[in-house]
Amino acid sequence: MRRLITLLTLSILFNTATWAQHSYSIPAYTGYAVPAEIEEEGLFQEGKGLQNWTDLQQEIHYFFYLRKTGKLTLEVSVKNIQAGSLISVEIANKSFRVAIPQSNDFQKKYVGEVTIKDSGFYSIKIKGLKKSGKIIADLASIELNGSAAAGIHFNKKARRNAASVHLRYPISDTTRLIAFYNEITIPENADIVHSYYMSNGFSRGYFGIQVNSENERRVIFSVWDAGNEAVSRSKVADSNKVILLAKGDGVFAKDFGNEGTGGHSHWVYPWKAGITYKMLVTALTDSASETTTYTGYFFLPEQQKWKLIASFRAPKDGKPLRNLYSFNENFVGINGQIQRYAYFGNQWGQRENGTWIELTESRFSYDATGKAGDRIDFGGGMEGGMFYLWNGGFKPTNTHFADVFTRPAKYNKPTIDFTKNADSVKQASIDQQLIFSAIKQKRIDTMGNRSGVYYHIMKEGTGNAVSVTDTVTVFYKGYLLKDGTVFDQTKEKPATFPLNRLIKGWQLGLAQMKLGSKIQLIIPSGLAYTIRSRSQLIPPNSVLVFEIELVSLKSKVEN
């Protein structure tokens, strides 16, 4: 008899130890409200759990991954200062009713037991059936016990964002790129609020499309300052700050911080899921000043025109585009349980000599949330000739860190025509106001205009007028109307050009000249370089002033 009691005691102790080994507590602050809470409500608070849950139409969801099968029992640690609240708890297609105890302190309440037949992601859905007083219930934790709980994975941290995932496009160290082109498509129903789908990333910045709210979407282009300040731009030395050179009509530009610092720009635009958008970043380098001008352009499919977003000059750089990448980001965690998806295709880089190379390889990676193992629901790959990324949704991953994907070459290099400018009408009005203001201030003089080019003949010439097919030899000086910055000029020797290869403003303006004449031209941006970032000294949308002396000309027949 004594031997039987001893065996029973050992059996109880063994079962108790096994039970404890497979007992896990999921903090209540790691859940998700459906519909999502207002961010400021503080429904989920680290160390406090779920609080102020009042809406009977709002469910609370928890997610975890089970590696084992078998029995799984549930308990909840709950309270309400008033009696009478009732909730239902659903898991693995079984639903249990739980009466909330009246208490000032959290109490554990047994929910029920289910049998787990397959490994995978599971969810717990808690619904309010009856509310007593102001709240349905406060919840501190969910307790999971049993053999199926062995090796369970769940996010223990209060940060509920899905892990950010990236694609990096490798290029050789000797390849000097001045442009990075990419196309992005967000599938139907994957355009989730609090998502940033970044298409054209590079070492100093990023460019993509964002869902800010149910009513607002943005195109975002930002460039980081030099230095190591991570939070406050007020602490950044002026010599390290990027400078805004130009922005498109309706584009908002400001400083940013808290993720590094720099210059931010965004344009509110109702982009749509299911439509492919083309994006381009260009880089103009100046090794002497160690600066690079980065400019972001967005193609509007409904207008078939390019939109300038912004142009920034980055200090302590002087290098071409490098470290090219794309990513998916869930930047607010209140809906981090929802899956986000994006396709990226037809990537190209342009060399300094103007030739294009197709980028057909990408490498997968993820952020600190993924590296720490807090979230394991993410992936990427190649499908239908395009790379894709996904995160969230509590689906099994299909990738590993540093996996390499290759897509088939499309041989469809981009054709960029900046004369198709979405802001051309608005910009023409801005240019005209600038010119009229300069005339009023007597900074420039004019005798009139020809097809939009204002001119002043400073010295009359003789002979035949210049034809657009002529080759001209000239002395010239070019500067910006805005601030007088000289961007180019001849010195001891004149320069020779075929006129039909020059900007439209020169072609129109030189038609007023004869041999030996001297003229001043005021050229609106639409007849100059439009939204192109032409050089370090000529920002997009610049009104140009040229003083030109015609030394000689040769007609096409003479040539």
The residue from 249, 331, 488, 497 that is catalytic is 488
Q: Is 63 a known active-site residue?
A: no
- Single-letter code of the amino acid located at 315: P
Reported as half-sphere exposure (CB side, CA atoms, 13 A), residue 326 has a value of 33
The two structure tokens encoding residue 494:
């004149």
The neighbour count for residue 46, using CB atoms within 10 Å, is 11
Which of the residues 192, 387, 546, 548 is marked catalytic? 546
Catalytic residue of the set 96, 121, 487, 497: 487
Residue with tokens 């000689």: 552
Catalytic residue among 529, 531, 538, 548: 529
The SS3 call for residue 473 is strand
Contact 427, 452 (CB under 8 A): no
Q: Is 503 a catalytic residue?
A: yes
Closest by Cα among 494, 498, 514 to 559? 498
Q: d(Cα 151, Cα 308) in Å, to the nearest integer?
A: 52
CB 450: neighbour CB atoms within 10 A?
A: 13
Please tell me the distance from the alpha carbon of residue 329 to that of residue 276, in angstroms, as a whole number.
19
Query: Does the annotation count 519 as an active-site position?
Result: no
Please identify which of the residues 243, 416, 444, 503 carries the catalytic annotation. 503
Token look-up 């469910």 returns 59
531 within 8 A of 492, measured Cβ to Cβ: no
Per annotation, catalytic residue among 29, 180, 476, 479: 476
Beta strand segments in 315-452, E: 324-330, 340-351, 356-358, 361-366, 378-383, 386-391, 404-406, 448-450
Please identify every residue annotated as catalytic: 476, 487-488, 503, 529, 546
